[in-house]
Protein backbone atom coordinates (compact mmCIF):
# COMPACT_ATOMS: atom_id res chain seq x y z
CA UNK A 1 0.00 0.00 0.00
CA UNK A 2 1.43 3.34 -1.03
CA UNK A 3 1.99 6.12 1.50
CA UNK A 4 -0.79 8.39 0.21
CA UNK A 5 -3.44 5.66 0.58
CA UNK A 6 -2.73 4.85 4.23
CA UNK A 7 -5.57 5.24 6.73
CA UNK A 8 -3.83 8.30 8.13
CA UNK A 9 -3.97 10.14 4.79
CA UNK A 10 -7.39 9.02 3.64
CA UNK A 11 -9.58 11.06 6.00
CA UNK A 12 -8.30 14.30 4.46
CA UNK A 13 -10.22 13.67 1.24
CA UNK A 14 -12.83 11.14 2.39
CA UNK A 15 -14.35 13.25 5.13
CA UNK A 16 -18.07 13.96 4.87
CA UNK A 17 -18.93 16.89 2.60
CA UNK A 18 -21.24 18.28 5.29
CA UNK A 19 -18.23 18.87 7.55
CA UNK A 20 -16.18 20.81 5.02
CA UNK A 21 -17.85 24.22 5.40
CA UNK A 22 -17.15 24.19 9.14
CA UNK A 23 -13.57 23.07 8.55
CA UNK A 24 -13.09 25.94 6.10
CA UNK A 25 -14.64 28.40 8.56
CA UNK A 26 -12.42 27.12 11.38
CA UNK A 27 -9.34 27.58 9.22
CA UNK A 28 -10.44 31.05 8.13
CA UNK A 29 -11.10 32.17 11.70
CA UNK A 30 -7.65 31.04 12.81
CA UNK A 31 -6.03 32.93 9.95
CA UNK A 32 -8.12 36.08 10.41
CA UNK A 33 -7.09 36.17 14.07
CA UNK A 34 -3.44 35.43 13.33
CA UNK A 35 -2.87 37.54 10.21
CA UNK A 36 -5.84 39.88 9.94
CA UNK A 37 -8.60 39.94 7.35
CA UNK A 38 -6.67 41.81 4.64
CA UNK A 39 -3.54 39.67 4.79
CA UNK A 40 -5.44 36.40 4.62
CA UNK A 41 -5.95 35.05 1.10
CA UNK A 42 -8.46 32.46 -0.03
CA UNK A 43 -5.47 30.31 -0.97
CA UNK A 44 -4.28 30.49 2.65
CA UNK A 45 -7.68 29.38 3.91
CA UNK A 46 -7.73 26.46 1.50
CA UNK A 47 -4.25 25.34 2.53
CA UNK A 48 -5.04 25.57 6.25
CA UNK A 49 -8.30 23.64 5.75
CA UNK A 50 -6.62 21.00 3.61
CA UNK A 51 -8.82 21.59 0.58
CA UNK A 52 -8.39 23.13 -2.85
CA UNK A 53 -9.05 26.78 -3.57
CA UNK A 54 -11.94 25.66 -5.76
CA UNK A 55 -13.46 23.79 -2.82
CA UNK A 56 -13.54 27.01 -0.81
CA UNK A 57 -15.37 28.77 -3.63
CA UNK A 58 -17.76 25.83 -3.86
CA UNK A 59 -19.14 26.78 -0.44
CA UNK A 60 -18.32 30.49 -0.20
CA UNK A 61 -18.43 32.95 -3.09
CA UNK A 62 -15.77 35.26 -1.63
CA UNK A 63 -13.69 36.04 1.44
CA UNK A 64 -16.47 38.42 2.51
CA UNK A 65 -18.90 35.51 2.36
CA UNK A 66 -16.59 33.53 4.63
CA UNK A 67 -16.60 36.14 7.37
CA UNK A 68 -20.37 36.58 6.99
CA UNK A 69 -20.75 32.85 7.58
CA UNK A 70 -18.47 33.08 10.61
CA UNK A 71 -20.68 35.79 12.09
CA UNK A 72 -23.85 33.81 11.40
CA UNK A 73 -22.38 30.65 12.92
CA UNK A 74 -20.95 32.29 16.02
CA UNK A 75 -23.55 34.87 17.03
CA UNK A 76 -26.29 34.97 14.41
CA UNK A 77 -27.99 31.86 15.79
CA UNK A 78 -27.84 33.19 19.35
CA UNK A 79 -29.28 36.54 18.29
CA UNK A 80 -32.11 34.76 16.50
CA UNK A 81 -32.92 32.71 19.60
CA UNK A 82 -32.83 35.78 21.84
CA UNK A 83 -35.06 37.81 19.52
CA UNK A 84 -37.53 34.94 19.36
CA UNK A 85 -37.64 34.66 23.16
CA UNK A 86 -38.15 38.35 23.89
CA UNK A 87 -40.41 39.12 20.95
CA UNK A 88 -43.91 39.66 22.28
CA UNK A 89 -42.84 39.15 25.90
CA UNK A 90 -45.03 40.97 28.41
CA UNK A 91 -43.82 41.46 31.96
CA UNK A 92 -40.71 42.34 33.93
CA UNK A 93 -37.75 42.46 31.50
CA UNK A 94 -35.50 41.24 34.28
CA UNK A 95 -37.27 37.87 34.25
CA UNK A 96 -36.56 37.19 30.59
CA UNK A 97 -33.01 38.53 30.90
CA UNK A 98 -32.36 35.95 33.62
CA UNK A 99 -33.50 33.26 31.18
CA UNK A 100 -31.36 34.59 28.34
CA UNK A 101 -28.19 35.12 30.38
CA UNK A 102 -27.20 31.41 30.62
CA UNK A 103 -27.54 31.01 26.85
CA UNK A 104 -25.39 34.09 26.23
CA UNK A 105 -22.82 33.00 28.82
CA UNK A 106 -22.54 29.52 27.34
CA UNK A 107 -21.91 30.89 23.85
CA UNK A 108 -19.54 33.70 24.80
CA UNK A 109 -17.51 31.43 27.08
CA UNK A 110 -16.45 29.48 23.98
CA UNK A 111 -13.17 31.11 22.83
CA UNK A 112 -13.92 30.39 19.17
CA UNK A 113 -17.32 32.06 19.42
CA UNK A 114 -15.95 35.06 21.31
CA UNK A 115 -13.17 35.39 18.72
CA UNK A 116 -15.70 36.49 16.07
CA UNK A 117 -17.06 39.67 17.72
CA UNK A 118 -13.52 40.46 18.86
CA UNK A 119 -12.40 40.16 15.24
CA UNK A 120 -15.21 42.43 14.06
CA UNK A 121 -14.38 45.05 16.71
CA UNK A 122 -10.76 45.02 15.58
CA UNK A 123 -11.37 45.06 11.83
CA UNK A 124 -14.55 47.18 11.51
CA UNK A 125 -12.87 50.63 11.75
CA UNK A 126 -10.93 49.96 8.53
CA UNK A 127 -13.60 47.79 6.86
CA UNK A 128 -16.91 49.69 6.61
CA UNK A 129 -18.52 46.80 4.75
CA UNK A 130 -17.74 44.50 7.65
CA UNK A 131 -19.26 46.96 10.13
CA UNK A 132 -22.39 47.25 7.95
CA UNK A 133 -22.71 43.49 7.67
CA UNK A 134 -22.41 42.99 11.44
CA UNK A 135 -24.94 45.74 12.09
CA UNK A 136 -27.45 44.15 9.71
CA UNK A 137 -26.98 40.57 10.87
CA UNK A 138 -26.51 41.08 14.61
CA UNK A 139 -26.91 44.54 16.11
CA UNK A 140 -29.77 45.64 13.87
CA UNK A 141 -31.80 42.58 14.91
CA UNK A 142 -31.04 42.69 18.63
CA UNK A 143 -31.36 46.42 19.37
CA UNK A 144 -35.01 46.96 18.32
CA UNK A 145 -36.12 43.83 20.16
CA UNK A 146 -34.34 44.89 23.36
CA UNK A 147 -35.69 48.44 23.13
CA UNK A 148 -39.23 47.08 22.76
CA UNK A 149 -38.65 44.75 25.72
CA UNK A 150 -37.65 47.57 28.06
CA UNK A 151 -40.32 49.93 26.75
CA UNK A 152 -43.13 47.50 27.52
CA UNK A 153 -41.55 46.90 30.94
CA UNK A 154 -41.72 50.61 31.70
CA UNK A 155 -45.26 50.92 30.40
CA UNK A 156 -46.30 48.04 32.62
CA UNK A 157 -44.68 49.55 35.69
CA UNK A 158 -42.21 46.70 36.15
CA UNK A 159 -39.14 48.94 35.90
CA UNK A 160 -38.55 52.66 36.35
CA UNK A 161 -39.15 55.01 33.45
CA UNK A 162 -35.91 55.83 31.68
CA UNK A 163 -34.92 56.13 28.03
CA UNK A 164 -35.18 52.55 26.67
CA UNK A 165 -32.60 53.24 23.95
CA UNK A 166 -30.11 54.33 26.60
CA UNK A 167 -30.93 51.29 28.72
CA UNK A 168 -30.01 48.99 25.84
CA UNK A 169 -26.71 50.82 25.35
CA UNK A 170 -26.04 50.43 29.07
CA UNK A 171 -26.82 46.72 28.78
CA UNK A 172 -24.44 46.11 25.86
CA UNK A 173 -21.76 48.70 26.65
CA UNK A 174 -20.01 46.92 29.53
CA UNK A 175 -19.54 43.76 27.47
CA UNK A 176 -17.98 45.69 24.58
CA UNK A 177 -15.71 47.62 26.93
CA UNK A 178 -14.71 44.42 28.72
CA UNK A 179 -13.58 42.91 25.41
CA UNK A 180 -11.80 46.11 24.34
CA UNK A 181 -9.90 46.38 27.61
CA UNK A 182 -8.49 42.90 27.13
CA UNK A 183 -8.15 42.67 23.35
CA UNK A 184 -6.92 46.19 22.59
CA UNK A 185 -5.34 47.44 25.80
CA UNK A 186 -4.24 44.06 27.23
CA UNK A 187 -5.98 44.79 30.54
CA UNK A 188 -7.44 41.51 31.76
CA UNK A 189 -9.35 40.54 34.89
CA UNK A 190 -7.00 39.31 37.60
CA UNK A 191 -4.17 41.31 36.03
CA UNK A 192 -2.02 40.58 39.08
CA UNK A 193 -2.22 36.83 38.56
CA UNK A 194 1.05 35.03 37.70
CA UNK A 195 2.07 35.31 34.06
CA UNK A 196 2.08 31.53 33.64
CA UNK A 197 -1.67 31.37 34.21
CA UNK A 198 -3.89 31.50 31.09
CA UNK A 199 -5.72 34.76 30.57
CA UNK A 200 -9.43 34.53 31.25
CA UNK A 201 -12.07 37.11 30.37
CA UNK A 202 -14.36 35.71 33.10
CA UNK A 203 -17.45 36.36 31.01
CA UNK A 204 -19.76 34.62 33.49
CA UNK A 205 -18.54 36.80 36.36
CA UNK A 206 -18.95 39.93 34.25
CA UNK A 207 -22.54 39.10 33.30
CA UNK A 208 -23.49 38.15 36.86
CA UNK A 209 -22.08 41.42 38.25
CA UNK A 210 -23.57 43.49 35.45
CA UNK A 211 -27.06 42.07 35.87
CA UNK A 212 -26.92 42.60 39.63
CA UNK A 213 -26.16 46.30 39.14
CA UNK A 214 -28.55 46.69 36.19
CA UNK A 215 -31.49 45.08 37.95
CA UNK A 216 -31.01 47.26 41.02
CA UNK A 217 -30.89 50.35 38.82
CA UNK A 218 -34.10 49.38 37.02
CA UNK A 219 -36.07 48.94 40.24
CA UNK A 220 -39.07 51.31 40.17
CA UNK A 221 -38.76 54.37 42.36
CA UNK A 222 -40.83 54.20 45.57
CA UNK A 223 -42.72 57.32 44.47
CA UNK A 224 -43.37 56.01 40.95
CA UNK A 225 -47.17 55.91 40.48
CA UNK A 226 -46.79 52.64 38.57
CA UNK A 227 -45.75 50.94 41.79
CA UNK A 228 -49.19 51.56 43.32
CA UNK A 229 -50.76 48.26 42.43
CA UNK A 230 -54.42 47.46 42.92
CA UNK A 231 -54.89 44.90 45.70
CA UNK A 232 -55.64 41.47 44.34
CA UNK A 233 -58.84 39.75 45.42
CA UNK A 234 -58.65 36.48 47.18
CB 177 within 8 A of CB 167: no
Q: Which CATH architecture has domain 70-221?
A: Orthogonal Bundle (1.10)
Q: Which CATH architecture has domain 7-60?
A: Orthogonal Bundle (1.10)
What CA–CA distances, in Å, run from 157 to 95, 102, 116, 160, 219? 14, 26, 37, 7, 10
pLDDT tens digits, 184-229: 888 999 766 556 667 888 988 999 999 999 999 999 988 755 545 4
Average pLDDT of the residues of the chain: 86
d(Cα 61, Cα 21) in Å, to the nearest integer?
Answer: 12
Domain coordinates of the chain in residue numbers? Answer: 7-60, 70-221
For the CA atoms of the chain, what is the radius of gyration? 22
d(Cα 179, Cα 177) in Å, to the nearest integer?
Answer: 5
d(Cα 198, Cα 202) in Å, to the nearest integer?
Answer: 11
| Fold agreement between 7-60 and 70-221 | no
pLDDT tens digits, 26-59: 999 999 999 999 999 999 999 999 999 999 999 9
Residue 68 three-state SS = helix
Amino acid sequence: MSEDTTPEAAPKFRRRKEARPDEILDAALDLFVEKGFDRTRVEDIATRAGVSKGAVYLYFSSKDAVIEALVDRAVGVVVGEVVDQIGGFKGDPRDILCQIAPLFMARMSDPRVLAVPKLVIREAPTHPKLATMYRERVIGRALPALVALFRQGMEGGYIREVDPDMVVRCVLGPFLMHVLLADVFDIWPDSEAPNDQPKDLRIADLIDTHLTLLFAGLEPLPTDPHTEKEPQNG
